[in-house]
Amino acid sequence: MRFIKFSSLEVVIGAVLYQFFLSATYLHTFPSLEEGVILGLVVWFFYLLDRQVDNHFLPSQDQRHQFHIEHQCVLRALMCVILAVILCLLPFVSSAVLRAGVMLAIAVILYGFCTQKGWLQQEKELCTAVLYAVGVGLVVWVREPRAFLGVLALAALAYQNLCYFALLENESVFFMSRLKKSEWVIMGLLSGIYASSQDLFLVLPFLVTFGITIFLSRMSLSEDRRIWADLAFWSPLIYLLHGIFST
């Protein structure tokens, strides 16, 4: 149970669900099995890597990071297995997706370099949110540029989520201000998506994720509520289940 709680599997599932949602919305089809598995493994790999980097440069005593220190050897072996599986699956994706993935990987490496140099201290959450959203929607926007608005909304939701997590770790006026500003941006983006589509179920998953994070941020800050902020990204299940039962 601790492995599930501290290995960020709920984040992986949320990313794949949003990939399926964006694909169903803009392409009217689901991603291939290989594309879904690759996304899930890539997200999982980078989350595990992020914990390893944190523990190397900024040792923390919270339970999540402590878990990664205690099981460091096992988790590093798991990361090697994940990376090997990703490499084995790459030949099964289209060349356009592969090229976009390589460019995104380069952007992630540059982001990591800039972060270690201390050049992005205050914008770490913003960069992470953008890279996350671009990666989740990659197989969609490569094929349909109109998906940009959905990817932008997902980036704003991810940023809202990360600002909330930053407040859990250390209450600050900066992140409280950014959190509130992100809420206005999200409302504007979701209004635009609804105005262009006139489809409530297209906006509903975004609204649920948005609403849960707002609700949590207005409550007393507690690390125990982190899991609910992650589970907020499972909201595409509403859209997917509606599609299944309405056919």
The residue extents of the domains of the chain are: 2-245
What is the rounded CA–CA span in Å between residue 187 and residue 163?
Answer: 16
Cα 217 from Cα 168, distance rounded (Å):
9
Whole-model pTM: value is 0.90
User: What is the topology classification, in CATH, of domain 2-245?
Assistant: Farnesyl Diphosphate Synthase (1.10.600)
What value, to the nearest 5°, has the Cα angle with vertex 44 and ends 1 and 103? 175
Task: Please give the Cα distance from 82 to 62 (Å, whole number).
Answer: 25
Query: pLDDT tens digits, the chain, 247 residues: what are they?
Result: 566 667 778 899 999 999 999 999 999 899 999 999 999 999 999 888 877 776 666 666 666 767 767 767 888 899 999 999 999 999 999 999 999 999 999 998 898 888 777 777 778 889 999 999 999 999 999 999 889 999 999 999 999 999 999 898 888 888 999 999 999 999 999 999 998 888 888 899 999 999 999 999 998 888 888 889 999 999 999 887 876 656 5
Those residues whose C-beta lies under 8 Å from the C-beta of residue 45, and which sit 6 or more positions away, are: 79, 82, 83, 86
Q: Is 64 exposed, middle or buried (0-12, 13-18, 19+ CB in 10 A)?
A: middle
